[in-house]
Structure 1
Amino acid sequence: MSPVITAMSVISPFGLGADAFTRGVLAGRTALAAVDPSAELPYAAAGVVEEFDLAAVIGNDAKNLAALGRAASLAVGTAGLLLRCHDLAEYPATSKAVVLGGDLIATDRAMALTRQSLTSPQPFQVDTKAFPSSVMNNSAAQCAIRFGLRGPNTTVTTGRMTGLSVLAYARRLHLRGRAPAVLVAAVEDLTPRRSWLTWHGHGARSADPLGEGCCVFLLESAEAAAEHGRVPLAEPLALEFGVAPHPDAAAEVLAARIRRALDAVRGSVTEVSSIVVSRRCAVAERLAVADLFGRDRQVIEPACLIGDTDGASAAFQLATAIAHASASDSIALVTSADPDGNVGCGLFRISAAVSCLEHRRTRGDKT
């Protein structure tokens, strides 16, 4: 049976936790703030996660936190928030997997080490303590080490599609019996180097303010979740990916993938209640949506509130769809497109239990 998402944790510019993110999204409140002009960055505003006490989030026995790096700190902190509510003690350590992704994670420290090697008197005179955090799988490894998750450990990076790709990978792990419980995560940190890389890579076509943060979802079977008091928040119904032969064909390819996803679940455009796009200047996504759903179809844009989170954007889009849960089960469409022509989409059944769960939390019920 297809696995479901039964828990969600978020660290975003709105603050710590899924509740802070949900409140910010539903209020339509922007978390973008002006960037210090003295930083000489190409963006005037950004969605920045305020500094937080990571040791308090993950426990008093936390060690060597200073060497983690920004991306790993966000990932470990977000995973810690989820595991603080759901310790998953019912699963053996070898049954708990981590699938984490991002786009430019670890790039900042890797570039810093490269610069040290080139500018130091000798090429080996670099900060060796920074080596672990300069590799892309550092964040996933740190989550596994610090929380005793000894199942499969995978890092995925597919650009803006990463949030959808980690879900696809995690589903395959679960369906093949490799991991009964999977922490599915996407993270992106905000650094000066990432800002300039994005600016030069995308140019004026991508002038959206940047953002940072992390989303972690728990993927497991509905039966196992019910045994331990968890309810489905969302179910991945279909995940589709494609590559346009040239960027101008991205809208056409994405529209075809959305049709394919709908056909896979025998659905129609009228059944899709919400559409969440990756960013304001997502031209290909908007054209594909207009082609299938009509020009007047409204879309949700979380990037307008928290900034463009790049490799974590699709995960934040799913978190936004969950935040908008209604009183009845609904179908949400998440779309994604990179400037180089890579596209992807996901159809999700968002459970009405989300709104009920939020209602219980506001009344003080710990469930």
Structure 2
Amino acid sequence: MSTAVITAWSAVSPYGTGRDPLAAGLRARAGAPASAGPEEWTADPDATARVVPGFEVREALGKAGTRGMDRLTGLTAVTVRELLSGTAPAGADGTAGRDGSPGPDGDLGTGLVLGIASGSVQGFMEFTKASLEGASPIDVPPSKTPNMAMNRAASASAIRHRLKGPNTTVAAGRLSGLVALDQARRLLADGRAQRVLTGSAEEYSAARAHLTHAAHGTGVVLGEGCVMVLLEPGDTAAGEPLAEVLAVHHRVAPDGDFAGTLTAAVHAALAEA
């Protein structure tokens, strides 16, 4: 498999919007600011979280096309916007501008692979509640329906930013970011895209807080955010390489031997690299 390189990255995190706040926080080894979310978000009166400060979907993206958009999709769309800013699209029409905006036919060469835990838990709950409380099971507000799709965040972000390459969502729990990176690398190796935006995202919500605290106790502090990287083939990258992806390997541990599985995965990745 040909080598892929990371040429750009961005993030929306509890440190702020864009990669600079996150990089500064990590360099300083500063913990993400604790946020007391709105009362309706929390699982108990004392619950705190690590949320993106001041983030509201319609304020961040505007009112056009955001009615009913879930928070997970909003975080992803903003991160894609931040990442594309200042990068020239890979559109095949050759008329793309230098500001990151695609040409008239859209960005034909750029794909998007997003890793998620399960999608918008809040969106699932709101849809189910409306179905149970309505006059009939199908009596659900149309604006809530798209949030039920696993590929909602990735597809909506691609449509919004006119990315017309392959569009994929993978759900693998805490490994989703690495699995997405592996999928993006395969798309490049197979010639399915000229470059791929890939990363992972998670939202904070009341529904997710209740489910997590019920399973693990109230001592668990939840966060939210999205991180995306721009992956390009090493031999044709338009941007300056920041890092080279030598190998990605992941395994499962059905027998519960997590240490052994981790050791085997590390050995396999080192052998591939």
Give the TM-score normalised by structure 1.
Answer: 0.65
Shift in alpha-carbon separation, 1:144–1:191, aligned structure 2, 3 A: same
Give how far 1:147 is off: 1.2
Higher helix share: 1
Q: Is the 8 A contact 1:3 1:221 kept in 2?
A: yes
Find the aligned partners of 1:87 and 1:137 in 2 and give their Cα distance: 25
DSSP-derived class of the 1:154 partner = strand
Amino acid in the other structure paired with 1:162:
S
Query: C-alpha displacement at 1:34, in angstroms?
Result: 4.8
Whether the 8 Å CA contact 1:137–1:155 is kept in 2: the answer is yes
Query: Does residue 49 of structure 2 align to residue 46 of structure 1?
Result: yes
Q: Is the 8 A contact 2:6 2:242 kept in 1?
A: yes
Asked if 1 retains the 8 angstrom alpha-carbon contact of 2:12 and 2:18, the reply is yes
Structure 1 regions of 5+ residues with no counterpart? Answer: 266-367
Matches of 1:106 and 1:131, distance apart in 2: 12
Do residues 235 (structure 1) and 235 (structure 2) align?
no
Q: Do residues 77 (structure 1) and 78 (structure 2) align?
A: yes
Amino acid of the residue matched to residue 19 of structure 2?
A
- Separation in 2, partners of 1:53, 1:213: 13
* Residue 176 (1) aligns with residue 194 (2): no
Task: Identify the residue that residue 221 of structure 1 maps to in structure 2.
Answer: 233
User: What letter corresponds to residue 217 of structure 1 in structure 2?
Assistant: V
The 1:106–1:82 alpha-carbon spacing in structure 2 relative to 1, beyond 3 Å, is: same
Normalising by structure 2, report the TM-score.
0.86
Match of 1:240, SS?
Answer: coil
> 1:140-178 deviations in whole A, cap 9, x for unaligned?
111111111111111111111100000110111100101
**1:257 matched to which residue of 2?**
265
* Contact 1:57/1:80, CA 8 A, preserved across alignment: no
Runs of 4+ with >3 A deviation? 34-40, 52-58, 89-92
How does 1:142-157 map onto structure 2 within 5 Å? 142-157=156-171
Distance 2:249 2:48 in 1: 33
What residue is the counterpart of 1:96 in the other structure?
Answer: 110
- 2:14 matches 1:29: no
Distance 1:65 1:33, change over 3 A: same
| C-alpha distance 89-171 of structure 1, shift in aligned 2 (>3 A) | closer
Report the count of equivalent residues.
Answer: 257
Q: Is the 8 A contact 1:57 1:81 kept in 2?
A: no
Deviation at 1:23, TM superposition (A): 0.3
Alignment partner, residue 201 of structure 2: 187
Question: Per-residue CA shift, 1:303-333, capped at 9, x if unaligned?
Answer: xxxxxxxxxxxxxxxxxxxxxxxxxxxxxxx
Deviations 1:23-60 (A, max 9, x none): 011112222315359555157321100234767866x7
Structure 2 alignment gaps of length 5 or more:
94-106
Greater relative contact order, per chain length (Cα 8 Å cut-off, separation 6+): 2
Cα deviation, residue 66, structure 1: 2.9
Write the distance in 1 (CA, Å) between the matches of 2:91 and 2:143: 36
Contact residue 91 and residue 109 of structure 2 kept, 8 A: no
Residue type matched to 1:214 in 2?
C
> Offset of 1:121 from its aligned partner?
2.5
**Pairing partner for 1:126 from 140, 145, 148:** 140
Distance between the aligned counterparts of 2:39 and 2:69, measured in 1? 27
Is this contact kept in 1: 2:90–2:109, CA < 8 A?
A: no
Note if 1:208 corresponds to 2:209: no
Aligned partner letter, 2:43: L
What is the CA deviation profile of residues 61-98 of structure 1, one whole-angstrom value per residue up to 9, with x for unaligned ones?
x7122322101110000000111121415555322111
